Structure formats: C-alpha cells, structure tokens
C-alpha cells in the first residue's frame, strides 16, 4: 500500500511546473556522438557545459528551432526549461583509452535502461535515411510482430526507438 496520501488535486498543485527535462547518456567520445545526434537525428546542440575540475562535459541536444542569444546564464536557464532533451555526458579521457570498452546500454544482461524514443513523420523514410548513413539497426520497420517501428543504435550502443504517432497507435490497437 502506498504511503502517499495526497488527493489528485493536491498532487497536481504540488507538482505544477514540473517538467520531464532530460535523459542522460554517458558517451565515450563526443565527436561521433555529436555527429550522430546532430547530423543523423537532426537535433541541435542547445548547450555545452565544461566542468574542468571534475573533468567532464555535458552536451544538451533537442529539437528546438530558435536558440536565444543572451548571457551564458540566460542561455543555460533557457536550456534547462526545455522539455525532453538528451544530455550526453563525456568523462574526459575515455575517447583515448584503448582499455575503455564503453558503457552498459541496459539492453544486455543485467537489463535495466531500455531506450529513448524519437517520433518521426514517416518511419520508413527515416530508416531509409539511417541506412544511407550506415546506422546500425536493432530492428527494421518490417521485422518482428510490431510492424512500422524501428530500433537503431547510437555510437555508444544505446537503443533509439523510431516511431510515428499514427503507427504506434495502430500497433497498440492491433495488439490489444
């Protein structure tokens, strides 16, 4: 039994203004990762923040069209008010460490994190484009029992679901 005893209205009032802001993925090398997210998936780099004393950099990417100008603080506040960003975290030196084998994607044992999802207007057209860039597919749109959605991998092996709103609702209806 839940220890939470607020009414739905109390919960809504207490959490007003909350926002799903980011999902963080650790990356080995920012060059191929930024290239993939910007040039294959079409995201824009909205913010880059270096932490020299702790030797890591954060990259925030998303599908915003207009990136404002202003002070560094104003731009950072804008970034952290955006919904559904991908945060790529690079711990310095991993890109040059031959013994570093990468991070766990969550899709091998022990399973944990699964994937992020990108909604596109046309899954088949998007996948044709991905194939042109030799993107690794986990599942192509016509594979398996769920037709019309795909899974690809980013340079670090994280899975990305490629879906359309229309296609996924058809899959849900078909598999009820």
Q: What pLDDT was estimated at residue 3?
A: 81
Q: What pLDDT was estimated at residue 2?
A: 75
Residues with catalytic function: 161
Give the CATH class of 114-176.
alpha beta
Structure tokens at 116: 């992020």
Q: In the β-sheet with 56-62, what is the strand arrangement from edge to edge?
A: 22-27, 85-91, 56-62, 44-51
Question: What are phi and psi for residue 79, nearest 5 degrees?
Answer: -55, -45
Characterize the bridge pairing of strands 44-51 and 137-139.
unpaired
Domains 20-103 and 114-176 share a fold: yes
pLDDT in tens, the chain (176 residues): 578 889 999 999 999 999 999 999 999 999 999 999 999 999 999 999 999 999 999 999 999 989 999 999 999 999 999 999 999 999 999 999 999 999 999 999 999 999 999 999 999 999 999 999 999 999 999 999 999 999 999 999 999 999 999 999 999 999 88
Question: What are phi and psi for residue 85, nearest 5 degrees?
Answer: -95, 155
Q: Which CATH number fits domain 20-103: 3.40.50.170, 1.20.58.100, 3.10.180.10, 3.40.640.10?
A: 3.10.180.10
Q: What pLDDT was estimated at residue 4?
A: 87
Spell out the domain ranges in the chain.
20-103, 114-176
Q: What pLDDT was estimated at residue 1?
A: 56
């Amino acid at each position: 039994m839940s220890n939470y005893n607020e009414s739905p209205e109390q919960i809504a009032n207490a959490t007003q203004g909350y926002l799903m802001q980011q999902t963080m993925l650790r990356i080995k090398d920012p060059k191929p990762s930024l290239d993939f997210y910007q040039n294959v998936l079409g995201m824009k780099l909205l913010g880059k923040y270096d932490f020299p004393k702790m030797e890591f950099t954060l990259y925030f990417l998303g599908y915003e069209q207009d990136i404002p100008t202003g002070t560094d603080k104003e731009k950072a506040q804008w970034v952290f008010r955006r919904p559904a960003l991908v945060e790529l975290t690079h711990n310095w030196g991993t890109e040059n460490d031959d013994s570093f084998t990468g991070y766990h994607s969550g899709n091998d044992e022990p399973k944990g994190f699964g994937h992020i999802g990108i909604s596109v207007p046309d899954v088949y057209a998007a996948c044709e484009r991905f194939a042109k860039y030799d993107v690794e597919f986990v599942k192509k749109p016509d594979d398996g029992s769920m037709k019309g959605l795909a899974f690809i991998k980013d340079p670090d092996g994280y899975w990305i679901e490629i879906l359309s709103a229309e296609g996924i609702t058809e899959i849900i209806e078909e598999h009820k």
